[in-house]
Structure 1
Amino acid sequence: MAASGLPHPSPLRRSNPVALYAANVPEGVKPDGYHDLILVGLQTESVAAASGVAVANTTNASLHIPRVTADTTAKWASEGEDLEVANPVLDEITSTPKKVGGVIRVSRELAQDSSPAATKLVGDSLTRAIAVALDNAFFTNSGTQTKAPVGLPGVTGFTPISGTATNLDSFTEAQVKALGNRTQVRAWYMAAATYLRFAGIKQATGSNVGLLETGFSINGIPVYITENLPLNTVYGLDTAQALMVVRDRAKVEVSDQAFFETDEVAVKVTMRVDFAFPQAKAVTKLTIAA
């Protein structure tokens, strides 16, 4: 989904690998410089990345992220009176990026092509594979998928909200409670079927005018559609307080041995990624009555 708030297509369903061929592709792919191409592509192919979750790059095995758990204090004072000396209470969370990767089949002609069009064709396919895995972890992993980063379901201390699909009160409640926690909702995430329940609400009995704004937003906040969430589950997130931690660069490797009999080339991409939520109250979970 694009950053404008328009819903993202359903995640790619993969079965057997399908080879890419060089038909109608201009001349010249050498797998160089794919890191930036993949990261840029994730901004549209991954729902999590498209919603504005910030990218933090690191060259270390782990990234230590400091956070304030209690603010310092200030007081009113007379002229010349000593001010109170106090320090904020700090701690840190440790983010350890985990490996995600995939392999695609490419015709030998395309693998030897170095034109921008060919590079984009291969890069887009690699990006989609990574995006599907990232979104699956971000929206479904509570920690049971031990090889993947923990996503929204694994955040402890989030703000829970209960609501119905007859009005938008639960969204308003989520936004107000977020402000009370010195955070704010910047993105809503839900399945298409959940969004459609609210899209059917009319402004008044007998009216054909929907209650929702145009442009796929609720209460002024963009809605991001993902089929990784179950029906009637909505997450609100302050994306300014969430991180996608990327270690090193995306690594792309080519082998001409894996599919020797078909004269195809295997292109492998690997990245190391983690998600971090320094402030649990930046996450709001809405449970909508069936």
Structure 2
Amino acid sequence: MSISLYERQAKAALEERSKLVAELRTIEADNKMTAAEKRERVERIDRDVMRLEAEARDAVERGEREAEVRAMASRAGATGFLTGSALPGDSESFRALMPSLNEYRALIAEGTPGAGGYTVPEKVSAQYADVLKAQSTFLRALPAANVLTFDTETLQVPQLIESDGEGYVAEGAELPEGTMTWSSLSFPARKIGRVQWASSEVLEDSALDLRNIIGQNLLRDASLRFDADAFNGGLTDEVKGILAQGTSTSLAAGKVTVTYDDLADACARVEAMNGHPSVVWASTDMGAALRKEKASGSGEYQGGSPTDTPASTAWGLPVLVSGFLPARTVVVADASRLFVGIRRNAAIRISEDARFSSDQVGFKLTMRVAGVGVAEASSVQIIEAAAS
């Protein structure tokens, strides 16, 4: 293939991506779709957008790599090292000369294990970023605009603490001067990472797609690590959690379960400060209790018939169950007032060089996160049922 063909492939992928981005805008403006339908379509289109971006980058990198090989072959031919059909312009012979980047690293670094470093096609990394978001109970509820990417060690989000100066003014009178007090939410980047090794024999002989399984397991563990901190991180921990930053309400003695009435009260407390409740997070026991709550008199389930899909909403809000919330805990939050920083998205890289002499393949996952920040404590209402 010529470089121009790779360029055409990249251009086609980017044009298709532009169409999908335009479709995202129409989905946001479509009032006929429910929030759940919008979220499902947006997540699906996001995956396709990331895939097309990765295809475009891959085409550009292939073109650049072939250009380097051509230049190297041209120099070798000029000094008499190439003969026969391996001449400049013969693309098939160039691929035979240097079939892949992995083989190129092996040739230049043979006998130096690890010199090639960790590598992975960009397409794989972009694909995994979507998987991480889908698996994270916390990130799934946040608007995309509140997952902030940044390129420094620490992210600062300006925060308006207080403003005043409003008042009635007589005709012709001078307008009063207002004041604003500003602060900021600080997000230091923290890394999550792990390496998993597998022998080439295991990867070759396994009846399962172990490469994919290892990658998915690494991503699952990373999402679980982040969820644990996003809920439970203390104010002095590396990643602050929402339980330490919200407003807590403890139910009276004897009230050992959180009910729909309690959720209604929490929604009102969020709305009292002009917030907009958007999600309910529940511990495992309280999530089960909400689904089993029955109406007095009729004895019917409040969440609908058990022959239907289990109740997944309360007062129109999605109910997400997390095993990382402490027992007897439910959180009602305005997710638009929560912020998460992403310094480096989840990426899995594969190395066949680091343990070259023992013929092992390494899978490395890394990501750098920062957060969680809560704009104001009233936006996160924590309900704690009584122990007895």
For Structure 1 versus Structure 2, the TM-score category normalised by the shorter chain is 0.7 to 0.9
1:177 and 2:177 matched: no
1:288 and 2:369 matched: no
Match of 1:32 in 2: 121
Q: Helix, strand or coil: the match of 1:88?
A: strand
Match of 1:62 in 2: 154
Match of 2:247 in 1: 159
- Cα offset, 1:44, TM superposition: 1.2
Q: Is this contact kept in 2: 1:188–1:222, CA < 8 A?
A: yes
- Structure 1 portions without partners, runs of 5+: 6-27
TM-score (norm 1): 0.76
Q: Is this contact kept in 2: 1:166–1:201, CA < 8 A?
A: no
Q: Is this contact kept in 2: 1:38–1:126, CA < 8 A?
A: no
* CA pair 167-188 structure 1, distance change in 2 beyond 3 A: closer
- Cα offset, 1:245, TM superposition: 0.3
Match of 1:23 in 2: none
Q: Is this contact kept in 1: 2:141–2:335, CA < 8 A?
A: yes
Q: Helix, strand or coil: the match of 2:295?
A: coil
Aligned residue-pair number: 257
- Identify which of structures 1 and 2 has the higher relative contact order when contacts are C-alpha pairs closer than 8 Å and 6+ apart: 1
* Within-5 A mapping of 1:209-220: 209-212=300-303, 215-220=311-316
- Cα offset, 1:107, TM superposition: 5.9
- Cα offset, 1:198, TM superposition: 2.4
* CA pair 111-248 structure 1, distance change in 2 beyond 3 A: farther
Higher helix share: 2
Match of 2:363 in 1: 267
- Cα offset, 1:56, TM superposition: 0.2
* CA pair 120-183 structure 1, distance change in 2 beyond 3 A: farther
Match of 2:26 in 1: none
- The one-letter code of the counterpart of 1:31 is V
2:281 corresponds, among 189, 209, 212, to 189
CA distance in 1, matches of 2:199, 2:335: 40
CA distance in 2, matches of 1:199, 1:137: 26
* Within-5 A mapping of 1:74-153: 74-105=166-197, 108=200, 123-143=215-235, 146=237, 148-153=238-243
Higher strand share: 1
Q: Helix, strand or coil: the match of 2:164?
A: coil
1:243 and 2:339 matched: yes
- Cα offset, 1:192, TM superposition: 2.5
CA distance in 2, matches of 1:126, 1:90: 40
- Cα offset, 1:196, TM superposition: 1.6
* CA pair 282-130 structure 1, distance change in 2 beyond 3 A: same
CA distance in 2, matches of 1:80, 1:277: 42
* CA pair 203-259 structure 1, distance change in 2 beyond 3 A: farther
RMSD: 3.3
Q: Helix, strand or coil: the match of 2:178?
A: coil
Deviations 1:126-168 (A, max 9, x none): 3212111111111222257x4x41212332xx32223333742
- The one-letter code of the counterpart of 1:172 is A
Deviations 1:157-191 (A, max 9, x none): x3222333374222111111111122232111112
1:51 and 2:141 matched: yes
CA distance in 1, matches of 2:211, 2:141: 26
Deviations 1:21-70 (A, max 9, x none): xxxxxxx9962224432332122100011112521000000011111111
- Cα offset, 1:271, TM superposition: 1.0
* CA pair 259-119 structure 1, distance change in 2 beyond 3 A: closer
Q: Helix, strand or coil: the match of 2:138?
A: helix
CA distance in 1, matches of 2:186, 2:259: 40
Q: Is this contact kept in 2: 1:42–1:50, CA < 8 A?
A: no
CA distance in 2, matches of 1:212, 1:281: 27
- Cα offset, 1:255, TM superposition: 3.2
Match of 1:19 in 2: none
Q: Is this contact kept in 2: 1:161–1:170, CA < 8 A?
A: no
CA distance in 2, matches of 1:166, 1:97: 35
**Identical counterparts, % of pairs:** 20
- Cα offset, 1:239, TM superposition: 0.9
* CA pair 167-243 structure 1, distance change in 2 beyond 3 A: closer
